Amino acid sequence: MYDTEEKQQENRLHYGGDEEISLRELMEVLLQHKVMIGLVTAAFVVLAGVYSFVIQQPVYESRALIVVNFPESVETPYGTFAYPSRNVQEYTEMVKGPEAVQLTVKALDGDMTAQQVRNRIAVRDADNGNTFRIVAQHGDPQQAYQLARIHTDNYLDYLQITMRRIAAGAFLEEKRLTEGRLEKELEQARANRTATQELLETISPTITLQNALIGEADQAILYSGIAESDLSELSGETILTQVVNPAYERVQQELFEIKLLKNDLSGSLARTRNDLVELAVEQTALRDYRETLDDNLLTAGTLELTAAGVSVLNRPVVSDVPVGPRRGLNLAIGLVLGLMVGVFAAFFRSYWEQSAS
């Protein structure tokens, strides 16, 4: 047992000595090749400087701050429209939507392709949860401003068109169901009117009541004066009176209410059908606009749904201060990479020399 502990102690001393020797050798290698490490590092820093100050062009930004604050629903000429989503993230994803990008490409007269527009447009979160920024980058500050301004307006138009398309489809479906329901109710009202009219024709408007004359005091006194007879002699006499038939009045009132209901249903059905025509025109215009991007087609629409939900809090402005290149960062990266490559080269050279010897 004693021999085993002594061997373990010797091994610890032995390996500890190897670690001290290895660390010393590492430091010696670095010191021996410090000039090479310095030259390699300097070369990388110079390359980073050339790239940052000579090759890489300055980049300018122009930004627009958008606020999204959709209510749960909005009133339209066709009814209440419930917004499909109030999640800001979904609306930020639409910034680079295909229609918005194509509108910008069209507005720029083909100076940029769709891919170039996507590459130069970015979306960044703002401090507030319901706001975000549309950022445009370009080597020319004026071009960056123009791109941010045009794409912001096109994004709002694209969002408006998308909401109008969703609303038109939803209202068309709703109006079609309403039209079918009103047609059935109107048909039932017409049938009820016919049946009630026929029933009314079978009922006499008045009925004749036969009452004892002595029971009608005023009539009895008048009659006794004309006949020059005593009231006591009139006990057997009767008088006929015509009155409005209560059943006729009740059925007549029912018929009047049915006619009112029929008129209301006819008016509602006419308005619903008119809405269907307008919505069909709206849907056709939006579909054609999606294919042609003809702004004249949008004048036919009557749905305005995003004015109160999305607005531009800060419009884009021209900025003469470049945001890139980040020269300090590039130089720091060059310094770190130069040191790493220099150290690697030093160890590789030392290893090569020891292997050759």
Question: How confident is the model over 94-137, as pLDDT tens digits?
Answer: 999 888 999 999 999 878 999 999 999 999 987 777 899 999 99
pLDDT of amino acid 260:
96
The answer to whether the predicted template modeling score (pTM) of the entire model surpasses 0.95 is no
In this prediction, residue 293 carries a pLDDT of 78
Q: Are 91 and 162 in contact (CB under 8 A)?
A: no
- Between 90 and 183, whose confidence is greater? 183
Supply the pLDDT for residue 185.
Answer: 96
Domains present along the chain, CATH in parentheses: 28-56+328-351 (no CATH), 57-200+280-324 (3.30.1890), 201-269 (no CATH)
Region at 224 (left for phi over 0; alpha for psi -120 to 50; beta for the rest): alpha
Q: List phi, psi (to 5°) of 220.
A: -65, -45
pLDDT at 228: 47
Please give the DSSP secondary-structure letter assigned to residue 6.
H
Q: How far apart are the first and last CA of the chain?
A: 44
Radius of gyration of the chain (CA): 47
Here the tokens at position 312 are 């531009």
Most confident of 94-103, 266-275, 301-310: 266-275
- Mean pLDDT of the region 284-313: 75
Count Cβ atoms below 10 Å from residue 162 Cβ, excluding itself: 20
Q: What is the mean pLDDT of residues 77-92?
A: 86
φ, ψ dihedrals at 97, nearest 5° = -65, 155
